[in-house]
Amino acid sequence: MRIAVVSLLLSAQAIKDMQFYCEVCTALVEESHWKVSNVDPKKTIDTGSGRVDPNGQMKEKKKQWRLSETHLTEVFETVCRNIADDYVIENGDNGEKYVKRMMTFDGAMNTDIDFQKLVADKEETPDKSPSHDPLKIRWTCENILEEVEEDLIEAFQTFSIPDDEMEDDEMTEFVCGDVYGCDLVHDEL
């Protein structure tokens, strides 16, 4: 009986954690997408085997630098630190934790965040270290990235439209939904 109660409590906690992990996963994809989409799509890198064909020519291919595995790996090295610095955890009325960017990518204040509620939450837990939430976000982000990095690279290379804007909704659905197992809910207008 005691084991069943402990198992039930642990599974309930895992569901709450999964919701938080999905919030961080979405932030990871959005932040990575923003960093990659700011790179000039005309900037290319030479790829190829380095081998000479029977005619004495080397086969060379050009690939967008922003979508190269080298560049994406560089982006992933700093993205979790950026998320920890730029995002906050907002406690929902239902007990769930939401991860939201404080400033929009355009530099404006995010109006979806209830800053009064954030201050009230901080006042309720004065013993909690100011670095607790950023460290939790960063640790969660790094754990997710460790699991999905290859799939995230594939998503960038698959869902990008050459010389145009890349679509982050499809990437989020693929990485966080299909690969990571998040139940992503889309608001319909």
pLDDT of residue 145: 95
Give yes or no for a contact between 160 and 122, defined as CB atoms under 8 angstroms apart: no
Burial class of residue 187 in the structure, from the number of CB atoms within 10 Å of its CB (0-12 exposed, 13-18 middle, 19+ buried): exposed
- Token pair 């997710």 in the structure block, residue: 144
**Of 185, 67, 75, 86, which is closest to residue 133 (Cα–Cα)?**
86
Q: Could you tell me the pTM of the whole model? A: 0.79
- Token pair 């201050």 in the structure block, residue: 119
Tell which wins on pLDDT, 185 or 42: 42
Q: Report the distance separating Cα 59 and Cα 103, nearest Å.
A: 45
Q: Report the distance separating Cα 103 and Cα 109, nearest Å.
A: 5
**What SS3 class is residue 24?**
helix
- The string of pLDDT tens digits covering residues 133-185 is 999 999 999 999 999 999 999 888 887 655 455 577 888 888 999 988 898 76
